[in-house]
Structure 1
Amino acid sequence: MLETNIKSPGVYINELNAFANSVVPVATAVPAFIGYTPQAAYEGRSYTNVAQKITSFAEFQAIYCIPDPPAPAPPTKQYAPQYYLVQQKAQPTDPNYMVINGAYYSIVPDPNTIYHLYNSIQLFYQNGGGDAYIVSVGGYGAQSGTPAAPGTQIVNPNVKLTDLMGGLQLLLNEEEPTMYICPEATLLSIADNGTLMQEMLLQSSNMQTAISIFDIIGGKNPDPIMYTNDITTFRNNTGVNGLNYGTAYYPFIGTTIMQSQDIDYTNLFGGDIKQLAPIINPPASADPTLTTIINSIETPSGTPLTVTQYNNSLINASKLYSTIIKQILNDANTLPPSGAMAGVMTTIDNQEGVWQAPANVSIVGAASLPIRLSESQQANLNMDAVSGKSVNAIRFFNGIGILVWGARTLDGNSGDWKYLSVRRTVTFLEQSCKLAAHPYVFQPNDMNTWAAVTAMISSFLTSVWKEGGLQGASASDAFSVSCGLGTTMTSDDILNGFMNVMVKVAVVRPAEFIVITFQQQMAVSS
């Protein structure tokens, strides 16, 4: 209260703030998913090309999934990839094939029907995900009606670079997301995928609030020997800007997201049972039971059974049909790991802190890997002398299972930013302090304000140090905060309205290489 405002006799109370404002830690694990969804509408409002925050998979289903029909009808299939069995003259080089009646059949999808976002969201929540942003850039496109060429990289023409770039730009208005994830980027051409990755890295470095998590084209069906070509292509396409804000994981992971009820005969040959019938029930040795089931599906009479009931009948009547469904299910369940990694980071952040490296942990729902990398094979992924772009491996260990075995950014040769946990911790500290300093904009640029800001940031960093986020025997060893004339500012800075705060932190780094030295010594008498 100013004395000039007191004009009549009496007793007045003037309250003074005894404590500085506090720094409220920002959220560290809020991914933003960009891609295609079954639908994007809720209560008459469209959510296409809208950055919408959700807090659970139930919310995702309410907005982005097609409602289920009334019982007793089966639930709606939210994702229905189409597959074909294509007979080959010789044994295919691609491992995704079957031998049926002495002939080789490649199992290949209709590329227009392959999408990854829906299953990636499920992986995210299965691994402990929480708050997330969804940017739906459209619904699923039309089927092509033709299979992809066996052994070729799947490129979905319905997945367009312009759509995904537009969704990414919507996030320029959102400062809360801390991860950018685009699972369907691997369905673009190699050139378009490179353009999108470079744009994501550029936006991440400009915003300084989020990292970009990448999947690698070729990680689904890697060649056991030539897989390094996919890694080289990835490194060549990511550019040189914003590398410390990007991280990549390899290979894809075989999951258990889709279950047996999610794949049936309607996912084969575009739902045309006539093309499937001669394969599972050859005319020369037709099974009467199978013939009856297939005829009932083609020309139902009376009260027809549901698709689920017909499918169960086929599974019980034909071991071959059951094997085909399992093979297709394995292919459909091989997913890019970015969604799972967002869930892993969320869990680690909540349990231990953002400074804990998201590695040496398992992935919930991961059941297999398309390639089992050895220690020597991972060495070339982890360190690259030319580009320095590190790729984090997902590996299988006997007796342990599948583990995330890497914690580096794409800036692998940087002394400051090679580790993902360091990058994310510093971003967390920067953004928390930045938001806490907002109330001091337009405050007097004098010693009182400098002391308040210094005390506020110091108190916050002390709490982070106590939790294990900074290293040092004491708080003074872990950080320092400076603000004042002659230390961080000059007289010209004050005249021009600048208040400079210098914060130095000793961030904890992962013990990536543990060396245990053994040496023999001579026996000594007791």
Structure 2
Amino acid sequence: MGAMKTPGVYIVEKNAFPNSVVEVATAVPAFIGHTEIADNRNKPLAMKPWRISSMAEYHQYFGYAPFPRFNIAEKTDPSAIAAFRVAGKDYVLQMPDGKDGGGYLLYSALRHFFQNGGGPCYIVSVGSYTDDLDVQKFKDGIGELLKEQEPTMLVVPEAVKFKAEVCNDLQQEMLAHCGDKMRNRVSILDIWGGDKPRNDPGGDPIVNFRNALGINYLDFASAYYPWLNTTVVGDKDISYENIANTDVLMPLLRADLDLPDTLPDDAPQKTKDTFGAVADIAKDWTTVKDKDGQPLSKDAILSNKALLNKTLVSISPLFNTVLGEIKYQLNLLPPSAAMAGIYTMVDNSRGVWKAPANVSLAGVVSPSVSISAEDQEDLNVTTQGKSINAIRSFIGEGVLVWGARTLDGNSLDWRYINVRRTMIMIEESCRLAAKALVFEPNVANTWVTIKSMIQNFLTSIWKRGGLAGAVPDDAFSVHVGLGETMTPDDILEGILRVTVLVAMVRPAEFIEITFQQQMQKS
């Protein structure tokens, strides 16, 4: 207040309450991958983190799903599982890569994320569906997230589409980003080859993952095994157009339906209709004219294609088998995106301090590999400490997340993912609130203000079950002051030190119930 020089009444207002600490968001994942487009009203969004909150917004800015086209080939690998058998020969469907659409998992991953309770998230588009997968673009996309403070999780579903050594290199970049550069977010990693069992002839995917990942920043990441058989892609999402080599498909369908290679003139009408439907697979509908001699409209072409596909489904068991195999392969997804949704759902319903485990996964038929309790022992507890969280199927309960550890499974401080994420939330909330006191006088009034501010915040967390302890004094303590956390030299150098001790909530991972017989009393 200025000096009082004029006689009169002067009003002085004093703040009765300290500044409050606002709890930061805990479940805002950042997804990096390829999208159909990256455009906001003619402004490019490529390599630019962009916040969305629904698939409708994703469609607006990043387009729709890729259109993968599979190849039918005779089975040559004895260990491969045949998709179908025709005329004594086994055939397989080869999953496309890169520009054929098979390497782009982001769209399906986002759908699975929202199915499992996902909310606001960031998208970093590193390329379109016409671009090949380039690990450097993914690393550059991770670097772009250095400018964003809100994301709390990092997810790269397409990492598993690279070769194993490239995937591991990218995942190490994710760990360094979270644990070294930012320290306010965690990575959710997928196991390369996680759709295969541990006794796979190509090697144990868990052992390969552990050997290649290194030991740095493991407490800022979690990993889940195995991959998931999902329901993200439905019957309406696939058709005969997903087959690239229709010249191979057509004779196989004719053999399945006992049709000749060429149709005689005296063939029954039903045979002619069936033969025509199979032949129409290779038809170029853009050259077809309507009854007025005009090219078909776009809607008419789509209608004819849909009718043809429906006809083939009704007449050919082999065609249904082929589409079923395509749907199976497209629905085999790594679990990181679904787990990001689970983290979001648990945070919103129970709090970040609740372990994201013993929770059902939505849109999942089964894990790609069945895991028993004995199988999980080596996943959960190992001498190297690289704990892998299992996803298991239980009779009468469905598919559950059955693990809540970080990759630093031998650390008593950071063993559990909910402990790490709760600490990140507390640290970030207090850091942002304390910025209001930067350059304030480093005196007792400021110390009391910041102490009461943090104490009030931690008290609210404790009341909601986020900290352990029967009373607040057991749950946390805040220390600040000269002779307690600071020396006279600290004050001369402009340093205000605050020490916060918190008792974190840890999950009851192992429950032991002891039974003992007693003597009859009556």
| TM > 0.5 fold call | yes
Count of aligned positions: 493
Counterpart of 2:403 in structure 1: which amino acid? Answer: G
Residues 1:470 and 2:456 are matched in the alignment: no
Indicate the residue corresponding to 2:127 in structure 1.
Answer: 138
Higher mean C-alpha deviation, range 449-458 or range 304-313: 304-313
**1:261/1:308 contact within 8 Å kept:** no
* Corresponding residue number in structure 2 for 1:214: 189
Match of 1:110 among 78, 96, 107: 96
Please give the alpha-carbon distance, in whole angstroms, between the structure 1 residues aligned to 2:185 and 2:339. Answer: 14
Residue of structure 1 equivalent to 2:389:
392
User: Which of 280, 286, 294 lines up with 1:296 in the alignment?
Assistant: 280
Q: Aligned partners of 1:178 and 1:89: how far apart in 2?
A: 46
Q: Secondary structure at the match of 1:362?
A: coil
1:280 is aligned to: 253
CA distance in 1, matches of 2:174, 2:232: 27
| Letter of the 1:104 counterpart | D
Listed as ranges, the matches of 1:107-506 within 5 Å are: 107-112=93-98, 113-114=101-102, 115-141=104-130, 158-206=132-180, 207-222=182-197, 224=199, 229-268=204-243, 270=244, 272-282=245-255, 285-286=258-259, 288-299=272-283, 301-303=288-290, 305-385=303-383, 387-506=384-503
Between 1:272-281 and 1:398-407, the stretch displaced more is: 272-281
CA contact (8 A) 1:289 1:317 kept: no
Distance in 1 separating the partners of 2:423 and 2:82: 44
Report how far residue 283 of structure 1 moved.
9.1
Quick one: which amino acid aligns to residue 29 of structure 2? P
The structure-2 alpha-carbon separation of the partners of 1:79 and 1:213, relative to structure 1 and needing over 3 Å to count, comes to: same
Q: Distance in 1 between matches of 2:202 and 2:510?
A: 25
The equivalent of 2:72 in structure 1 is 85
CA RMSD of aligned residues (A): 1.7
Describe the superposition over 1:105-160 as per-residue Cα deviations: whole angstroms up to 9, x where unpaired: 12221222211111011111111111100000010136xxxxxxxxxxxxxxx211
| Distance (Å, rounded) in 1 between the aligned partners of 2:366 and 2:454 | 46
Whether the aligned pair in 1 keeps the contact of 2:109 and 2:338 (CA below 8 Å) is yes
What is residue 504 of structure 2 aligned with on the other side? 507
1:411-445 Cα deviation digits (max 9, x unpaired): 00000001000000001100000001000000000
Indicate if the aligned counterparts of 1:395 and 1:402 stay in contact, CA closer than 8 A.
Answer: yes
Greater CA deviation, 272-281 or 487-496?
A: 272-281
Inter-partner Cα distance in structure 1 for 2:198 and 2:274: 38
Distance 1:167 1:282 in 2: 49
**What is the rounded CA distance, in whole Å, between the counterparts of 1:318 and 1:479 in structure 2?**
68
Distance 1:101 1:398 in 2: 39
Which amino acid in structure 1 is aligned with residue 136 of structure 2? T
- Contact persistence 2:197–2:204 (CA under 8 A): no
Distance 2:36 2:58 in 1: 11
SS in 2 for 1:247: strand
User: Does the Cα contact within 8 Å between 2:196 and 2:205 map onto a contact in 1?
Assistant: no
- The letter of the residue matching 1:141 is T
* TM-score between the two structures when normalised by the length of structure 1: 0.91
Which residue of 2 is the match for residue 24 of structure 1? 22
Q: Mark the CA change 1:389 to 1:228 in structure 2 (over 3 Å): closer, same or farther.
A: farther
1:155 maps to none
SS of equivalent to 1:282 = helix
Encode CA deviations 1:308-366: one digit per residue, 9 max, x unaligned.
Answer: 22111111121110121011101110101111101111010000100000000011101
Measured after TM superposition, the shift of residue 225 of structure 1 is 5.2
TM-score of the pair, normalised by structure 2: 0.91
Q: In structure 2, the residue corresponding to 1:137 is in which secondary structure?
A: strand
Deviation for aligned residue 1:285: 2.3
Unaligned runs of 5+ in 2: 260-270, 291-300
Between the aligned partners of 1:380 and 1:290, the Cα distance in structure 2 is 55
How far did residue 290 of structure 1 move?
Answer: 2.9
Give 3-state SS (helix, strand or coil) of 2:204's partner.
helix
Q: Percent identity?
A: 44
Q: Could you tell me which of 37, 52, 55 is aligned with 2:53? A: 55
Task: State the shift of 1:275 in Å.
Answer: 2.2
One-letter code aligned to 1:219: G
Give the SS at the match of 2:390: strand
Q: Specify the SS of the correspondent of 1:124.
A: helix
Contact preservation (8 Å) 2:82, 2:90 = no
**Matched letter for residue 131 of structure 1:** P
- Cα offsets for 1:464-507 (capped at 9, x unmatched): 00000001110111000011111111100100011001100001
1:237 CA drift (Å) = 1.8
3-state SS of paired residue (2:154): strand
Match of 1:101 among 84, 87, 97: 87
Contact in 1 for aligned 2:75/2:82 (Cα 8 Å):
no
Partners in 2 of 1:133 and 1:250 — Cα distance?
25
1:280–1:295: structure 2 CA closer, same or farther, 3 Å change rule?
Answer: closer
Q: Contact conserved, 2:218 with 2:407, CA < 8 A, in 1?
A: yes
Query: What is the CA-CA distance between 1:203 and the residue it aligns to?
Result: 1.2
Q: Distance in 1 between matches of 2:63 and 2:196?
A: 29
> Residues 270-313 of structure 1, C-alpha deviation per residue, up to 9 Å, x if partnerless?
2x432210111129921543311133343454446532221111
CA distance in 1, matches of 2:205, 2:377: 16
> Are the aligned partners of 1:98 and 1:107 in contact in 2 as well (CA < 8 Å)?
no
Judge which range, 432-441 or 273-282, deviates more: 273-282
- The one-letter code sitting in structure 1 at the alignment partner of 2:20 is S
Letter in 2 for 1:121: L
Per mean C-alpha deviation after superposition, the further-off stretch among 102-111 and 421-430 is 102-111
In 2, are the aligned partners of 1:116 and 1:336 still within 8 Å (CA)? no
User: What is the deviation of 1:220?
Assistant: 2.3
1:33 aligns with 2:25: no
Shift, 1:228, TM fit: 6.7
Question: Is contact 2:254–2:278 with CA below 8 Å preserved after alignment?
Answer: no
Q: Distance in 2 between matches of 1:498 and 1:282?
A: 82
Deviates further, 107-116 or 336-345:
107-116
Helix, strand or coil at the partner of 1:85: strand
Q: Shift of residue 188 of structure 1?
A: 1.1
